[in-house]
């Protein structure tokens, strides 16, 4: 890819600050990250964060992002409003909304989000969670999905070494944990927006737990960022080790925890999400 050609993720996250009000942005959905009925949820989360990161009143860097998917974004233009609802000495609290015009022209709410940013200061720091044992990325085969109509899968290089997509959909009961190496398929230095998107790359845990292919989709995801910009820059275009597992499956919804590590063993982000599944 030419250095002058924008990365597909940068095109998907391109926002234009309008003159309607401060924090109001416009954008357009990207076919490169299309999912079955709308954009890949990870890019929608990244868009919500991007609106905060581009806000002129931003304080610090992200520490928490929660995104609620009220409805799928449709193809085309959308509006994002990022509002700083409270600014303290070290933290800043944001609300974000994404809307699209309906058939009658009325703005329809598709996504709500909250973001917390903070001005981190050098203090005592320690990780209690250690990186799992893993083979080197080069020793693991890259998963090849083939033509599926789900464009976003082609934007990531995924190398699962445990808990891959079931080879047989036979209803067998098993664990729900996946471990894989992952990075952008086209090299792109890691930043907060791409890390937010990567937090949602795991397929629904219910598929693995039951080896049953049922409709499923994220309702809400919370991602917590455990590093600063300098640590992300050190990762560069390297692989991340991703681990995800379900915790409770109950009456149409399950929750899923996930962690993303650098190759050097730094815990970059953790996430939790609640997912809908249909019998």
pTM value is 0.95
Percentage, residues of the chain above pLDDT 70: 98
Q: Return the pLDDT at 37.
A: 86
Q: Return the pLDDT at 147.
A: 61
**Rounded Cα–Cα distance for residues 259 and 255 (Å):** 14
Q: Would you say how long the chain is, in residues? A: 279
The alpha helices in 122-218, defined as continuous H runs, are 192-198, 205-210
Give the range with max mean pLDDT: 2-6, 145-149, 248-252: 248-252
Q: Return the pLDDT at 146.
A: 61
Residue, of 46 and 103, whose pLDDT is higher: 46
Q: Tens digits of per-residue pLDDT, 194-207?
A: 999 999 999 999 99
SS3 17: strand
**Which of 259, 278, 260, 272 shows the shortest CA–CA distance to 220?**
272
Sign of the dihedral defined by the CA atoms of residues 40, 43, 47, 49, in that order: positive
Tell me if 39 sits within 8 A of 73, measured CB to CB.
yes
DSSP 37: S
| CB-count exposure of residue 237 (10 Å: 0-12, 13-18, 19+) | exposed
SS3 53: helix
Q: Return the pLDDT at 166.
A: 92
Residues 12-38, mean pLDDT to the nearest whole number: 95
Q: Return the pLDDT at 3.
A: 59
Q: Return the pLDDT at 279.
A: 84
**Which of 109, 72, 75 shows the shortest CA–CA distance to 215?**
72
Residue, of 37 and 93, whose pLDDT is higher: 93
Q: How far is CA 83 from CA 14, 22, 36, 87, 170, in A?
A: 19, 8, 30, 11, 48
Nearest-5° Cα angle at 69, 271 to 115? 55
Residues 102-108, mean pLDDT to the nearest whole number: 87
Residues 243-254, mean pLDDT to the nearest whole number: 97
Residues 85-95, mean pLDDT to the nearest whole number: 97
**Rounded Cα–Cα distance for residues 152 and 194 (Å):** 13
Residue 69 CB partners (closer than 8 Å, separation 6+): 41, 44, 110, 111, 217, 218, 219, 220
Write out the E strands in 10-76: 16-17, 24-28, 61-69
Mean of pLDDT over the chain: 95
Sign of the dihedral defined by the CA atoms of residues 41, 149, 163, 139, in that order: negative
Residue, of 20 and 192, whose pLDDT is higher: 192
SS3 225: strand
Q: Tens digits of per-residue pLDDT, 31-89?
A: 999 998 899 999 999 999 999 999 999 999 999 999 999 999 999 999 999 999 999 99
């Amino acid at each position: 890819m030419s250095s002058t050609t924008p990365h597909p993720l940068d095109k998907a996250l391109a926002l234009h600050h309008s003159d309607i009000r401060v924090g109001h942005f416009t954008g357009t959905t990207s076919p490169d990250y299309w999912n079955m009925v709308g954009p890949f949820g990870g890019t929608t989360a990244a868009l919500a964060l991007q609106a905060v990161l581009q806000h002129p009143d931003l304080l610090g860097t992200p520490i928490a992002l929660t995104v609620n998917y009220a409805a799928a974004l449709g193809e085309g233009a959308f509006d994002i409003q990022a509002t700083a609802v409270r600014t303290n000495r070290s933290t800043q609290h944001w609300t974000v909304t994404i809307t699209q015009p309906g058939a009658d022209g009325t703005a329809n709410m598709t996504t709500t989000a909250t973001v917390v940013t903070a001005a981190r200061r050098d203090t005592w720091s320690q990780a209690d969670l250690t990186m799992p044992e893993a083979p080197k990325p080069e020793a693991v085969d890259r998963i090849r999905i083939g033509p599926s109509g789900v464009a976003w899968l082609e934007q990531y290089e995924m190398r699962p070494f445990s808990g891959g997509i079931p080879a047989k959909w036979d209803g067998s009961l098993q664990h729900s944990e996946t471990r894989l190496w992952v990075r952008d398929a086209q090299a792109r230095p890691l930043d907060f927006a791409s890390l937010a998107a990567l937090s949602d790359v795991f397929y629904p845990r219910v598929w693995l737990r039951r080896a049953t292919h049922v409709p499923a989709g994220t309702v809400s995801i919370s991602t917590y960022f455990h590093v600063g910009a300098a640590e992300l820059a050190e990762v560069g275009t390297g692989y991340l080790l991703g681990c995800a597992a379900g915790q409770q499956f109950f009456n149409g919804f399950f929750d899923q925890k996930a962690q993303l590590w650098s190759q050097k063993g730094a815990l970059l982000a953790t996430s939790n999400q609640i997912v809908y599944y249909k019998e």
